[in-house]
Chains A and B, each alone.
Chain A
Amino acid sequence: PPLPVAKPVPMAAALPGPRWLPAAAALLWACCGSAATDGIQDQAEQFFRSGHTNNWAVLVCTSRFWFNYRHVANTLSVYRSVKRLGIPDSHIVLMLADDMACNPRNPKPATVFSHKNMELNVYGDDVEVDYRSYEVTVENFLRVLTGRIPPSTPRSKRLLSDDRSNILIYMTGHGGNGFLKFQDSEEITNVELADAFEQMWQKRRYNELLFIIDTCQGASMYERFYSPNIMALASSQVGEDSLSHQPDLGIGVHLMDRYTFYVLEFLEEIHPASQTNMNDLFQVCPRSLCVSTPGHRTDLFQRDPQNVLITDFFGSVRKVEITTETVALDPNLVGLETRVPNDEMATEPLKYAEQLPVAQIIHQKPKQKDWHPPGGFILGLWALIIMVFFKTYGIKHMKYIF
């Protein structure tokens, strides 16, 4: 459960007494209690800071095919910002539905650009994609969110968040009123997404969640959320289309969507110690630049967006407690390696296997066939033969045969 929110209670309201007393007390407080106010304000602000200890990010691009280059570029720019601000690869689940960088149609292989004239390569040299190509399905996405993953899934493909994790979920692709299309073959609806978040809440898999979606009619995707501590942003309202930014004539496709382009510009100015808050993110792409109206939803969120730092979700700013006590280490602790036992020596020299042992292969014994009971045809044939025999010669011969 989230931390109880303490509201500063004005001292005047708590005191009983004659009518003029609260006013006088308030005046006194206002004039000469400035230092005390600061102290109380600091304490109050402490309550408003987030109580998270680790950050996770789930970045999903759901579109396939070369002309949806911009969706991959969107996701990679958020990936780049999130990595730059401190979230490590082990805490990022990156899902890209198609490969644009090494696509045969890409004139510059191993690059994905976000600005025309190929200014910024968001693919970089150090990227780790966890779910790629056909693995990006609605089922895998929901399994990642809820944690119901088959047991042999590697660690890099799991969302191992706990109740003190702040998770950033970014989705982009083609969508409509109430759904988001995955790879041109299936959809996820806003009801399914809301239910997945509720499962996460009941399993205490997040502390606070920021959901950003950049698709057409994106605001419909967050209409149905009902779990606490979720803040959502979308690039367009219901009935509006999100538009793409600019094509590059060398590559031949649109490179980014408008909303994410301006979000990327905004995030490039953030560094791990920034104090920029969410209200600035809400103003990022006004109608003049974006053509669509970005929307946001904060009613489920406990804290005031003004007190929520951008780095609470996009960065990995940890709380550090500095202690002044001394800790005594055990002086007898010496790093001894256990003696490695000597390896066994074989009695006769080992040899390499023959790569093409022709004689051995030709004389390989065929595998013993397992005995199967006779199938329908054989049984039927024998039944026919026996019937004909007994019809011809009579049933009285049976006792001599069996």
Chain B
Amino acid sequence: PHWVSGPEAEVQRMAWAVAAVLGLLLLLGSPGGCGGSPGPPRDSLREELLLSPLPSGDIAATFQFRARWDSELHREGVSHYRLFPKALGQLISKYLVRELHLSLTQGFWRTRTWGQPYLQAPAGAELWVWFQDSVTDVDKAWKELSNILSGIFCASLNFIDSTNTVTPTASFKPLGLANVTDHHLLRYAVLPREIVCTENLTPWKKLLPCSSKAGLAVLLKAERLFHTSYHSQAVHIRPICRDASCLSVSWELRQTLTVVFDTFSIGQGKRDWSLFKMFSRTVTEACPLASESKIYVDISSKTQENELLEVTPPPLSVHEASVQGDRRTYAVYDLLSPLLFNVSRSLNVQLKWKRPQDSLDLSTPVLHAQRYVSGYGLQTGEISTLIYNTHPYRAFPVILLETVPWYLRLYVHTLVITTKGKENKPSYIHYQPAQDRRRPHLLEMLIQLPANSVTKITIQFERALLKWTEYTPDPNHGFYVSPSVLSALVPSVLAMKAEDAEKSPLFTSLFPSADGSSYFVRLYTEPLLVNLPTPDFSMPYNVICLTCTVVAVCYGSFYNLLTRTFHVEEPSRGGLAKRLANIIRKVRGVPPL
């Protein structure tokens, strides 16, 4: 500004000072970005760790970090990101994504021995996305989205293309708010061969507001997390109700990480666990940006007598919830309450078994499945799926989604579904045959499972011969068939009342529950490893030589047999004297004897 002298200068300086002070107030007083009166921050973070001892003696630890942002991401001009990571926010607004679910898993959740999982993920990488209905070219957006995600998460998601993408028609309904459920906006792909390692955990941790410096995320150390039987990390983005009236939309980002520590490799055979034993670290403080930071330990006992587990330090409160149709008790440690760190600066939750576990405590889950491939040789085979319903008197429907790559040619006329020896006709079948090198097989069926039964689904296939360049560098390892997905509404033992999503723990609000009589569960079967007829890549030169030799010998022999003429030869007579005489006569020019 031009500095003029006199009283005008005074006025000008005062005006400038006032403007500066106002500007400073604005800067300090409006972290959320409102130009007028500063309101409460529009985003919040909740973090939670759930430790559940499994019936087999192992322990499962589920981390959940939920960032909720009360804003409309699809509007222009959103540029101030606080807790919600900018990388994902920009992705959602650019590709008009309504829901995004990405998971990277190593290992397999053994439902029969470990019980029903809260949120299971298939082995490898799984990505399913619902787009907004304003997207014109869904396939193009899907391809670009998977490429960008491969850069963010250091995974080979760029291998997702039309040969492994399907559009399910009945499974994978949106988990968030939805008014349009046209399944042409949904894309689903699985890469069963994908490896999960530290390079995938590093960017996942960087998306957290506190990173791995404070709060529950300090426990996430790669050396311990990958020495497990099951490791699954996932990112879920969906729109949710902002409040009970549900008139406006908030965006929710959930980052979940589930690990199962094995008794024998980590626990040295003993079934006593502690945070230090599992993660080689203890918790010292909550994340300062979190509005809620809790550790839940599952201490429910099946027999209702005395407790199975002893938890130290003694929990400040106990929470009871009905999860998956069962009444469960949890010990709660609230990291934000000042009482927790009174005794010691670090929190090391320890679990000890009071009495040895007997088989009465092991309860089989209501729904579990297994899948295997049978047959011999390298031409044909058969995929069989067994689905078990162990509920004593209730029947319920299940949707089975199978995606089979094009090089295993399924024969749908051999599809047989039997339950208790009788044929079971599905209420809905959607089958999309494969196109070579363009599209995989998609088979979706809605099957009614009678109570206390085993349903067997078998389908035969034939193996195709791939082109030379389509084989992977290690083709003798085999080719993977992605896991099949079972979605079911399982009837629950107890009637559950719908609890407020904000007040209940995060692990109870993964799936939106419609009514209290059943709960939704999504299970995955094992991936299959199938050998295709593989040429011997190591010896092309030798093979060509051998083949050429055989062909030459065969052909040459036949040629000779067909074209050679035979003459009868005079037998030679006479001894040595006659021959000598003949030689002399030849020299003389006289005809021989």
Contact = CB atoms under 8 A, between A and B. Distances in A.
A154 B151 contact: yes
A30 B75 CA distance: 75
Contacts of B77: 338
A130 interface: yes
Given A133-B156, A154-B147, A154-B151, A337 B177 contact: no
A340 B72 CA distance: 10
Name, among A123, A152, A185, the residue most crowded by chain B CB atoms within 10 Å (CB to CB).
A152
Contact of A135 (B75, B156, B178): B156
A351 B72 CA distance: 17
Interface stretch (B195-203, B300-308, B523-531): B195-203
B397 A356 contact: yes
Contact of B225 (A64, A110, A154, A335): A110
Given A335-B23, A354-B173, A346 B199 contact: no
Given A356-B399, A356-B488, A125 B154 contact: no
A341 B246 contact: no
Contacts of B309: none
A355 B173 contact: yes
A344 B242 CA distance: 12
Name, among A129, A331, A345, A361, the residue most crowded by chain B CB atoms within 10 Å (CB to CB).
A361
Nearest to B39: A340
Contact of B151 (A157, A335, A339): A157
Contact of B197 (A110, A336, A352): A110
B472 A134 contact: yes
A328 to B, nearest CB: 12
A388 interface: no
Interface stretch (B26-34, B343-351, B368-376): B26-34
Contacts of A337: 26, 30, 33-35, 80
A102 B173 contact: no
Given A134-B472, A351-B177, A353-B174, A125 B221 contact: yes
A128 B177 contact: no
Given A110-B197, A337-B30, A356-B487, A364 B169 contact: yes
A355 B487 contact: yes
Contacts of A331: 1, 16, 20
Name, among B106, B177, B196, the residue most crowded by chain A CB atoms within 10 Å (CB to CB).
B177
Given A154-B148, A351-B246, A355-B520, A102 B26 contact: no
B80 A350 contact: no
Interface in A342-396: 343-346, 349-358, 361-362, 364
A354 B75 CA distance: 27
A337 B32 CA distance: 9
Contact of A64 (B16, B159, B474): B474
B359 interface: no
Contacts of A154: 147-148, 150-152
Interface in A305-342: 331-332, 334-341
A144 interface: no
A75 interface: no
Contacts of A7: none
A109 B154 CA distance: 18
Contacts of A126: 202
B423 interface: no
B520 A353 contact: no
A101 interface: yes
Contacts of B71: 340, 343
B143 interface: yes
Contacts of A157: 151
A132 B154 contact: yes
B473 A356 contact: no
A351 B71 CA distance: 18
B514 interface: yes
A185 B471 CA distance: 10
Given A99-B197, A336-B35, A64 B148 contact: no
Interface in B195-251: 195-199, 202-203, 221-223, 225-227, 241, 245-249
B221 A350 contact: no
Name, among B22, B32, B181, B226, the residue most crowded by chain A CB atoms within 10 Å (CB to CB).
B226
Nearest to B231: A102
B511 A185 contact: no
Interface in B504-544: 511-512, 514, 520, 537
Contacts of A351: 177, 246
Interface string B23-63: 10011001011111000000000000000000000000000
B446 A352 contact: no
A386 B146 CA distance: 55
Contacts of A353: 173-175, 177-178, 181, 512
A352 B154 contact: no
A interface, by DSSP: helix, strand, loop or mixed?
Answer: loop
A291 B97 CA distance: 58
A123 B198 contact: yes
Contacts of B22: 334
Name, among A101, A102, A354, the residue most crowded by chain B CB atoms within 10 Å (CB to CB).
A102
A102 B196 contact: yes
A341 B33 CA distance: 11
Contacts of B511: 355
A30 B315 CA distance: 85
A102 B106 contact: yes
A341 B226 CA distance: 45
Contacts of A128: 154, 199, 202-203
A329 to B, nearest CB: 12
B226 A152 contact: no
Nearest to B146: A152
Name, among B32, B241, B245, B248, the residue most crowded by chain A CB atoms within 10 Å (CB to CB).
B248
A134 B473 contact: yes
Name, among A99, A109, A339, A362, the residue most crowded by chain B CB atoms within 10 Å (CB to CB).
A109
B459 interface: no
A302 interface: no
Contacts of A127: 198-199, 202
Contacts of B196: 102
Contacts of A125: 198, 202, 221-222
Given A110-B225, A130-B154, A350-B241, A101 B197 contact: yes
A132 B198 contact: no
Interface in A102-123: 102, 108-111, 123
A65 interface: yes
Contacts of A184: 473-474
A134 B159 contact: yes
A99 B148 contact: no
Interface in A128-144: 128-130, 132-135
B219 to A, nearest CB: 13
A130 B151 CA distance: 7
A362 B426 CA distance: 10
Given A351-B177, A355-B514, A364 B223 contact: no
B89 interface: no
Contact of A343 (B27, B72, B474): B72
B495 interface: no
Contacts of B246: 349-351
Contacts of B489: 355-356
B176 interface: yes
A155 B152 CA distance: 9
A293 interface: no
A344 B72 CA distance: 9
B130 to A, nearest CB: 9
A154 B77 CA distance: 23
Interface of A: 64-65, 99, 101-102, 108-111, 123-130, 132-135, 152-157, 183-185, 331-332, 334-341, 343-346, 349-358, 361-362, 364
7 contacts: A124-B198, A132-B154, A132-B156, A154-B147, A156-B154, A343-B70, A343-B248
Given A65-B474, A361-B427, 17 more contacts: A102-B198, A108-B227, A109-B226, A123-B198, A132-B154, A155-B151, A157-B151, A185-B473, A332-B19, A335-B26, A337-B80, A340-B32, A340-B71, A350-B246, A353-B512, A356-B488, A358-B446
